[in-house]
Chains A and B, each alone.
Chain A
Amino acid sequence: MKMSILSSLVIALAFMNHSGVAAEQSPAAGFTVSPKQCTTLKQGDICYLNLQLYWQQASQQNYCLFANEQKLHCWHSVQQGQWQQDFAMQQDLVLTLQTSDRQVLHSQTIRYAWMYKKNNSKAMRWRMF
């Protein structure tokens, strides 16, 4: 029985490893951003996040990353890239990957969310009512 479980695990690991290699060999265009939401306690509070981004394109070109129309980073003559940075946000953040002629290839919105609504009281909390 133990052998059977062990064999299954080995086979599963082999498959996982194989699929990882396969992904590296045939890259597909993609744009992966994490996290997709930043939640703070009260609306208006600064929300902190560590943004991690990975992208891949079919052709080798110059690409730039923008956040709400502000240029964050550019890559030159590459087909893929990754990027990581701490962010402080108070509204939705729209990330776009663009070509050098400003064509938007990918877009992802990081949602600014909160638990309690903003109100005219400093001490009290509001939610759904």
Chain B
Amino acid sequence: MKHYFLTPLLLCSAVSLANEQTSDSSWYDFLQQKRDAGGFFSAGIVVQNSQGLYRSEDFKVRPELKGAYYFNNGLFIEYPGRSDKFDNQFAVGYNLGNTESWEFDVLLSMAHGGLNYTGAQSGFKKDASPYWGIRAIGTIAGFDTMLVYGTNSNKMDYSNGLYGAAWLGKSWNINNWHLYSSVGAQYRNDAMLDFYYGVPDNHAGLPAYDAKGGINFIYKAGFKKPLNENWLVEGNFSMTRYADSIIDSPYAQSILQRNENLSDNGRTVSLSISYVF
């Protein structure tokens, strides 16, 4: 239950911090202050090794596109990609306003991906959960910070789904090697996790299960090395500890037992080279 309040509390702290900094100026000025217009687009090749609950261990080479664009009026679209130190989900939104050190957005993004389950006796396919939410990006105690809080936007499958995320990161520039490290906590409430991982009473072959809300913890580290103005080499490592309520689900246990190449922790290592337009 306390998780319900964690991210909103942090968001309020961010608003409060931002408010202190805007005390000399009106909220009107804050709302008028948008990000500069601009963006980027990059195309590259990624060599990636990953393993997790949703993906058996594999090694693949794949193309990767990343980009973002921020309009003068505050609207934006972004796809930061896996090597971003925070969330890597596609998002569209509106930049509400900015202070000197905080940026506030409303956005539509993804709280949980689609899930396909194929069991011994049954299977299902569940759609992804987009969310509408608010995002604050700024600095807390010298750490780059991103806070997100939202509710699932597609009420067709279930309602009252809540998603919150808090990220802290730090970057260093060592001889033009830009190193970063970050930790993230992604909270999904009972309604959301039970939709994906709960097992109904009448399910054949699996015990009934009510999935509680839970937190995925993520650690990321990586580097970015520009070769020149256009070519960028990036390396990234990320590890995910899934919420207990996900791992304890009979669906998760069932696929883990049947597939030795899956893991109850997520892990990705990638190396890429991309051309930034």
User: What residues of chain A have their CB less than 8 Å away from a CB belonging to chain B?
Assistant: 37-41, 45-49, 113-117, 119-129
Which residues of A sit under 8 angstroms from B68, Cβ to Cβ?
124-125
* Residues from 142 to 192 in B contacting A, C-beta threshold 8 Å: 144, 146, 173, 175-176, 178
CB pair A126 B175 closer than 8 Å: no
Q: Scan B43-75; emit 1 where CB is below 8 A from any A CB, else 0.
A: 000000000000000000000000011100000
Which residues of B sit under 8 angstroms from A124, Cβ to Cβ?
35, 68, 70, 78
CB distance from B168 to the nearest CB of A (A): 13
Which residues of A sit under 8 angstroms from B137, Cβ to Cβ?
122-123
Please count how many residues in chain B sit with their CB below 8 Å of the partner chain's CB atoms.
Answer: 34
* Contact segment of B6-14, B119-127, B224-232, B264-272: B224-232
Complex CA gap A119/B227 in Å reads 21
A-B contact pairs, 11 of them (CB 8 A): A37-B228, A38-B176, A41-B173, A41-B224, A48-B176, A120-B98, A122-B139, A126-B70, A127-B41, A127-B277, A129-B69
Complex CA gap A49/B226 in Å reads 13
The residue from A47, A121, A128, A129 contacting B176, defined by CB atoms under 8 A apart:
A47
Say yes or no for B36: interface residue by CB 8 A criterion.
Answer: yes
CB pair B40 A125 closer than 8 Å: yes
CB pair A122 B40 closer than 8 Å: no
Say yes or no for B103: interface residue by CB 8 A criterion.
Answer: yes
Complex CA gap A126/B226 in Å reads 15
CB pair A121 B37 closer than 8 Å: no
Q: Scan B207-238; emit 1 where CB is below 8 A from any A CB, else 0.
A: 00000000000000000101111101000000
Say yes or no for B114: interface residue by CB 8 A criterion.
Answer: no
CB distance from B118 to the nearest CB of A (A): 39
Top 8 closest A-B pairs, CB basis? A127-B40, A126-B38, A119-B36, A115-B226, A48-B175, A129-B39, A123-B137, A39-B226
Counting chain B CB atoms within 10 Å of each CB, the highest count among A41, A47, A116, A117 belongs to: A41
CB distance from B253 to the nearest CB of A (A): 38
Say yes or no for B101: interface residue by CB 8 A criterion.
Answer: yes
Which residues of A sit under 8 angstroms from B101, Cβ to Cβ?
122
Secondary structure call for the B interface = strand
Which residues of B sit under 8 angstroms from A113, Cβ to Cβ?
228-229
Which residues of B sit under 8 angstroms from A123, Cβ to Cβ?
86, 103, 137, 144, 146
CB distance from A8 to the nearest CB of B (A): 34
Counting chain A CB atoms within 10 Å of each CB, the highest count among B35, B70, B226 belongs to: B226
Counting chain B CB atoms within 10 Å of each CB, the highest count among A41, A46, A121, A124 belongs to: A124
Which residues of A sit under 8 angstroms from B139, Cβ to Cβ?
122
Which residues of B sit under 8 angstroms from A114, Cβ to Cβ?
226, 229
Which residues of B sit under 8 angstroms from A116, Cβ to Cβ?
40, 276
CB pair B39 A121 closer than 8 Å: no
The residue from B36, B103, B173, B227 contacting A126, defined by CB atoms under 8 A apart:
B36
CB distance from B141 to the nearest CB of A (A): 15
Complex CA gap A41/B227 in Å reads 9
Complex CA gap A39/B178 in Å reads 12
Identify the closest chain B residue to A115 (Cβ). B226
CB distance from A55 to the nearest CB of B (A): 25
